[in-house]
């Protein structure tokens, strides 16, 4: 999930109700196969043809149109799959497109590449793009257009640059008639509306991906808001690109090097001087880091250099690199520095954080940057091997800057508290059943966020994670928080923890490592990466049958898919006498001003009514 390259750039441009027409770009995907001679219904309002277009059109006359090569279906739960299902629903559902599929016309676009037209936006996709139906005056068959930076009800002018199955992809040229009710004073989507739309994303995910009958899916609860809607993101990863070595010139000016995030729909970097969703200390450090990058980057092939400011030779990155800026609490002067176990023999980030690419480098600002937030000093960390300090409520966490940790600290306490309350209060049949929940298993535990935060409420806790470095951090964090408390410590009835262990191993083999946990007394937290759980993991979960499940997901679509698969697997085991009942579903807004929503599902093992 690359929030930095997509959402940060989007945030900076949504303020305007109109857009400068972007340059025409080469169309891709299906258009490359049909030679650009797709049918056009009605007059084209496109500007003059791209260079060489007229010659290509003349050459194409009289030639038999090549058959479009259809790529394989998108991976279930992927961004492309989510958009396609939203498009199908807007066009009337599977029944409405059956005839197109039967006739092989679901890839035949009625629009030309670079055609400009006006459309009225129908809705937002689950990924945040606007979707509009092509007017029937242009296409008698159902067809849609996907365009960024527009809102439902707005009349927009768009330019098509690619055609795929059942829809075209376009650039926004201009918002002709904005939706004033949905935009706030800064021209952004109002925050209340964002929360409502994200609730709708969860609803659509379970409708389109779970395969569950509506009677088994509870009403989606309102999305929990983030306490901060701007200035919340504790990590950003700006990027810069360098021209290929063969195209570098002595006249190239490093001062003009764009340093920022990926421009929406382009393979280019948009220069970003300030990120409005990043925390204050990161924005304070960013100008100095940009200055140092430009100071030491050279586009001359023969020049080499060393610098105390750069921990990497920037000129050795032939095509550019990614910078890391991470917010951390500053260590108090009277506190001894703690040492995290780390793999010092590797130049790669200590844990595979999907948002930190392999080309990450460390560039310090000219001076140490600090900022006061909430009465505490924060610093900007730029070395992915350095230690980051976080607080979630009264619980302390330390981890390598290059490892994964949630990037909106302001909402983590509400998230942990919600999970805790959901375990012990949500629709559970009896108080005795609540008191019997004595064991907790935290899969994909990372640095121990849930395992450590919830440990005081359980007698025995186990965290499992594939990364050895993350397990080392989790063990360190348990010690930081005195968990489990030593036997000699005075008895605190609020802390039930007797054992707290962290095990390195694949989640698929987790159940063998907790075979001594009684399933009827065990709660399991599942917090996987975007791809969700695989079938082997779910099969072992069904065999273990914990009393309660909490599934926290950064991709609600794979979460819905997994819970549908779980229901099917439960039918196959024990003649379907038991099942997992979904007690509650709701989104958490970890990333305001973006389309992303975290989803929390709470399930309870129960007797099946089937």
Three-class HEC string of 447-462: CCHHHHHHHHHCCEEE
Instruction: Output the pLDDT for position 340.
Output: 62
Do the Cβ atoms of 448 and 463 come closer than 8 Å?
yes
The arithmetic mean of pLDDT across residues 164-169, rounded, is: 96
Is 310 tagged catalytic?
no
Cα(118)–Cα(405) distance, integer angstroms: 43
Between β-strands 144-147 and 130-133, what pairing exists: parallel, antiparallel or unpaired?
A: antiparallel
Q: Side by side, which strands form the sheet with 460-465?
A: 221-224, 578-588, 598-607, 548-553, 522-526, 439-443, 460-465, 499-504
Task: Check whether 356 has a pLDDT greater than 80.
Answer: no
What is the rounded average pLDDT for all residues in the chain? 81
The one catalytic residue among 123, 154, 583, 598: 598
Q: Which candidate, 91, 95, 78, places its Cα nearest to that of 122?
A: 91
- 507: pLDDT confidence band, cut at 50, 70 and 90? low
Task: Check whether 244 has a pLDDT greater than 50.
Answer: yes
Instruction: Output the pLDDT for position 513.
Output: 84
Three-state secondary-structure class, residue 501: strand
Least confident of 107-121, 233-247, 251-265, 430-444: 430-444
The encoded tokens of residue 267 equal 């393979």
Instruction: Output the pLDDT for position 188.
Output: 80
Cα(280)–Cα(480) distance, integer angstroms: 27
What is the Cα 527 distance to its own chain's centre?
13
Task: Check whether 610 has a pLDDT greater than 90.
Answer: no
Of the chain, the end-to-end C-alpha distance in Å amounts to: 39
> Which tens digit of pLDDT belongs to each residue from 1-58?
333 444 444 443 333 333 444 444 443 334 333 333 333 333 333 333 344 444 444 4
Least confident of 137-151, 261-275, 323-337, 486-500: 486-500
Torsion of CA 295, 299, 301, 306, to 10 degrees: 20
> Which tens digit of pLDDT belongs to each residue from 68-102?
677 888 888 889 999 999 999 999 999 889 988 88
Question: Which stretches of 298-424 are assigned E, i.e. beta strand?
Answer: 321-323, 325-329, 360-361, 370-373, 376-381, 387-392, 395-400
Compute the C-alpha angle 96/101/106, nearest 5°: 90
Q: Which of 36-40, 171-175, 250-254 has the highest mean pLDDT?
A: 171-175
Helix 556-572 and helix 535-544: axis angle, to 10°?
A: 50
Three-state secondary-structure class, residue 217: coil
> Which tens digit of pLDDT belongs to each residue from 380-413?
999 989 999 999 999 999 999 999 899 999 999 9
Between β-strands 144-147 and 395-400, what pairing exists: parallel, antiparallel or unpaired?
A: unpaired
- DSSP secondary-structure letter at 28? -
Residue 501 exposed, middle or buried by CB count within 10 Å (0-12, 13-18, 19+): middle
Cα(596)–Cα(31) distance, integer angstroms: 30
Instruction: Output the pLDDT for position 77.
Output: 86
Is 554 tagged catalytic?
yes
> Which tens digit of pLDDT belongs to each residue from 213-228?
999 999 999 999 999 9
> Which tens digit of pLDDT belongs to each residue from 109-162?
999 999 999 999 999 999 999 999 999 999 999 999 999 999 999 999 999 999
The encoded tokens of residue 548 equal 């309660």
Distances (CA, A) of 548 to 12, 357, 519, 542: 42, 36, 9, 12
The encoded tokens of residue 236 equal 């950003």
**What is the chain's length?**
610
> Which tens digit of pLDDT belongs to each residue from 328-340?
998 766 565 666 6
pTM listed for this prediction: 0.82
Do the Cβ atoms of 82 and 530 come closer than 8 Å?
no
Distances (CA, A) of 64 to 59, 60, 490: 11, 8, 86
The one catalytic residue among 554, 568, 578, 583: 554
Instruction: Output the pLDDT for position 596.
Output: 96
- DSSP secondary-structure letter at 255? G
Do the Cβ atoms of 372 and 284 come closer than 8 Å?
no
Write out the DSSP string of 97-134.
HHHHHHTT-TT--SS-TT-EEEEEEEEE-TTS-EEEEP
Do the Cβ atoms of 85 and 560 come closer than 8 Å?
no
The encoded tokens of residue 18 equal 């109109």
201 Cβ neighbours under 8 A, 6+ residues apart: 126, 556, 587, 595, 597
């Amino acid at each position: 999930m690359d929030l930095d390259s997509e959402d940060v750039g989007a945030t900076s441009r949504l303020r305007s109700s109109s857009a400068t027409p972007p340059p025409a770009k080469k169309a891709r995907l299906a258009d490359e196969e049909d030679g650009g001679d797709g049918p056009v219904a009605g007059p084209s309002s496109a500007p003059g043809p791209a260079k060489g277009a007229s010659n290509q059109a003349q050459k194409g006359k009289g030639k038999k149109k090549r058959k479009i090569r259809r790529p394989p279906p998108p991976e279930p739960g992927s961004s492309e799959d989510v958009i396609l299902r939203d498009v199908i629903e807007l066009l009337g559902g599977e029944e409405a497109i059956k005839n197109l599929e039967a006739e092989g016309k679901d890839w035949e676009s009625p629009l030309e590449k670079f055609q400009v037209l006006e459309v009225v936006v129908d809705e937002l996709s689950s990924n945040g793009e606007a979707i509009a139906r092509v007017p029937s005056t242009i296409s008698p068959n159902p067809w849609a257009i996907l365009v960024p930076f527009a809102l439902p009800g707005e009349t927009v002018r768009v330019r098509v640059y690619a055609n795929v199955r059942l829809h075209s992809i376009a650039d926004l040229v201009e918002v002709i008639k904005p939706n004033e009710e949905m935009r706030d004073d800064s021209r952004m989507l109002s925050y209340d509306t964002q929360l409502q739309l994200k609730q709708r994303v969860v609803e659509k995910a379970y409708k389109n991906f779970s395969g569950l009958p509506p009677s088994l899916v509870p009403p989606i609860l309102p999305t929990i808001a983030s306490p901060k809607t701007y200035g919340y993101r504790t990590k950003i990863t700006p990027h810069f690109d360098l021209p290929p070595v063969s195209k570098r010139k002595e006249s190239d000016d490093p001062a003009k090097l764009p340093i920022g995030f990926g421009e929406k729909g382009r393979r280019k970097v948009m220069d970003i001087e300030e990120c409005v969703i990043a925390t204050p200390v990161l924005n304070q450090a960013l100008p100095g880091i940009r200055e140092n990058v430009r100071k030491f980057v050279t586009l001359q092939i023969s020049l080499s250099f060393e610098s105390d400011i750069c921990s990497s030779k920037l000129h050795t990155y032939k095509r550019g690199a990614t910078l890391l800026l991470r917010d951390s609490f500053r260590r108090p002067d009277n506190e001894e520095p703690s040492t995290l176990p780390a793999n010092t023999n590797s130049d790669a980030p200590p844990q595979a954080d999907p948002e930190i690419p392999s080309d990450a480098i460390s560039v310090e600002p000219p001076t140490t940057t600090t900022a006061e937030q909430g009465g505490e000093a924060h610093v900007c960390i730029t070395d992915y091997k350095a230690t980051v300090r976080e607080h979630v409520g009264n619980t302390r966490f330390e981890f390598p800057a290059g490892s994964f940790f949630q990037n909106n600290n302001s909402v983590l306490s509400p998230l942990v508290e919600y999970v805790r309350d959901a375990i012990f209060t949500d629709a559970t049949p009896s108080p005795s059943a609540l008191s019997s929940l004595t064991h907790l298993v935290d899969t994909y535990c990372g640095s121990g966020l849930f395992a450590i935060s919830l440990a005081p409420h359980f007698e025995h806790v186990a965290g499992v994670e594939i990364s050895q470095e993350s397990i080392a951090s989790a063990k360190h964090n348990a010690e930081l928080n005195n968990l489990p408390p030593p036997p000699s410590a005075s008895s605190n009835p609020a802390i039930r923890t007797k054992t707290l262990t962290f095990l390195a191993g694949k989640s698929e083999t987790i159940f063998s490592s907790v075979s001594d946990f009684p399933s009827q007394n065990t709660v399991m937290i599942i917090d996987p990466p975007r791809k969700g759980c695989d079938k082997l993991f779910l099969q072992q979960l069904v065999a273990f049958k914990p009393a309660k499940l909490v599934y926290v997901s950064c991709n609600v679509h794979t979460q819905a898919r997994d819970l549908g698969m779980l229901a099917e697997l439960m039918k196959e085991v024990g003649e379907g006498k038991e099942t997992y009942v979904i007690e509650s579903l709701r989104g958490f807004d970890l990333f305001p001003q973006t389309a992303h929503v975290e989803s929390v599902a709470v399930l309870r093992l129960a007797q099946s009514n089937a």
